[in-house]
Structure formats: C-alpha cells, structure tokens
Structure 1
Amino acid sequence: MSDWGPVFVAVVLFILLTPGLLIQIPGKSRFVEFGNFQTSGVSILVHSVLYFALICIFLLAIGVHIFSGFSSAMADWAPVVIGVVLFVLLQPGLLFQFPGHHKQLEFGSMKTNGKAIAVHTLIFFALYCIFILALHVHIYTG
C-alpha cells in the first residue's frame, strides 16, 4: 500500500515556499516581500533551507502518513532528500521557467508567474510520485 503523506506534505510545501508566490526572503528591495513573483539565488537558498526544515519536521519528527501499509522503526530520508532536490531544481526561474514571460520556455530568468508555478508544481508532483510511490526509493539511516 502507498503512503501519500510525504507526497501531500512535499507538494503543499513546494507551493507555499516557492519564492515570489506568497513570500520572498530576502526580497529584491526589502528583506521580506510578498507576492512579487520574483526570485533570486539567495532567496531560493533561504526557501530551500526552510523547505528542508519543515519537511523534516512533518515527515521525520511528526511522521505524517496517509494510508500507510507498513511501519518502520527507521527513519526514511528519501522523501526529504528527493523533495529538497526537486524543490531547488524546479524553482521557476532558476534553471528554467515554463511557460516564460516572453517565450514558452525561458532559462535562468529569475522571474516567475502564476502559470509557471502551476506547471512546475505539476512537474514536481509527477516526479515526486514517481520516485516515492512508483519506484519506492528509500534511504534508511541506521
């Protein structure tokens, strides 16, 4: 049976912590900016650290599970590691943005928009589900 808890937590955090959608820390002109649809390398780093901390809390400390078919005494770090890597790589505007502002696909623009956030969230969801639910990737620590 599949555990949808990590998928739900990872996707919700991806949406909420995408720099520029709700909040950007640090912002372009102020420390905190709201809904500016901008990003930067530093803000992606800060938001990635926040993502890592929150996903660790929800998946490892609290242990959010939805319809789990098994239980393990060991901590599974795969949902955390995969989530953080995908979070960084799929930030709209960092490596690519689909759709872009002026072209269908833009690279390294450090800007985003609502459509790009929605598309990147769907890509994140699909890849995360493939790794966690379809391939059953696990990283256990002893």
Structure 2
Amino acid sequence: MSDWGPVFIAVVLFILLTPGLLIQVPGRSRYVEFGNFQTSGVSILVHSIIYFGLICIFLIAIAGVKELFLMADWAPVLIGVVLFVLLSPGLLFSFPGNSKQLEFGSMKTNGKAIAIHTLLFFAIYAVLIVALHIHIYTG
C-alpha cells in the first residue's frame, strides 16, 4: 500500500467529519445540525467513531482485505483517530479562535481554525506515517 493513500484518506475524512463544519451529531438543540460551527465532547466522540469506521473501510479498499488482515498494520487507523480527537477545533484548543488568537476548550470553531487544524493534522499524520514509517502490527 502506498504511504500517501492513508494520508489522503485521513485528511479528507478529517475535513468532512470535523464537527460543526458540515454536520454535527448530536447538535446543541437538535439531534443533527448543519454548518453551525459548534462542537461538543459527545459530538466529537460520535464523529470519531464514524471516522474510525470509514477509515477502516477505505484502507481495506486500498490494501485489499487479504493484505490488511495478513499484515494488520493499525497505525494509520489509530494515529488518525487519536489526531482526529486531539485536533478537533474547539475541544482542546482552537487556533485561531473566534474572539482571541488562541482559545482553549471553547467548543466553537470557524473556517480558519478548521483550515489550520487540517494543516496540523496533515503535517503530523504525514510525518508519523510517511517519514517515520510508524507501524502497529497485530496478529
């Protein structure tokens, strides 16, 4: 499997599943809200579970079922999920914030913060997967 395949998939999923950009499940006042630029611990958990499921499906599609289960390298999945949680704008920090340059635990986001957090996600993920070749093998 190409090292850049998982990077591309992970970054695209990070963008699409960032709570508050396109969708937030659960929302603040409804079960599903669209484009509200809000987040919460519960919605990050739900989006992280969806992220985990989708990245597994897409990496199986790239590697093939036989190769994935024979090698069972879970690094692209686990690193992606951990970074998804840690870099979700508004949970730990939001850079830039809505009212300050750097906000901590605001549970709010904005377009610039999503773009910068996506770049951070890409840089860290690419270094760990492509440059350092981190692998987590099971089985």
Q: TM-score surpassing 0.5?
A: yes
Q: Which ranges of 4 or more aligned residues in structure 1 deviate by more than 6 Å?
A: none
Q: Any idea what the Cα deviations from partners look like across 1:106-127, whole Å, max 9, x if unmatched?
A: 0000000000000000000000
TM-score of the aligned structures, taking structure 2 as reference length: 0.93
Q: How many equivalent pairs are there?
A: 136
Q: Where do 1:87-126 residues align within 5 Å? A: 87-126=84-123
Unaligned runs of 5+ in 1: 66-70
What percent identity do the matched residue pairs reach?
79
Give me the TM-score of the superposition, normalised by structure 1.
0.91
Structure 1 residue 141: Cα displacement = 1.2
How many Å separate the matches in 2 of 1:82 and 1:102?
31
Over aligned residue pairs, what C-alpha RMSD do you find?
1.6
What CA distance in whole angstroms lies between the structure 1 residues aligned with 2:58 and 2:79?
15
More helix by share: 2
Q: 1:74 to 1:15 in 2, by over 3 A?
A: same
Greater Cα shift, 72-81 or 39-48: 72-81
- CA distance in 2 between counterparts of 1:58 and 1:2 reads 13
Does structure 2 conserve the Cα–Cα contact (< 8 Å) formed by 1:7 and 1:125? Answer: yes
Q: Which residue of 2 aligns with 1:81?
A: 78
Cα shift at 1:78:
0.1
The CA deviation at 1:85 is: 0.1
Q: CA deviation at 1:64?
A: 5.3
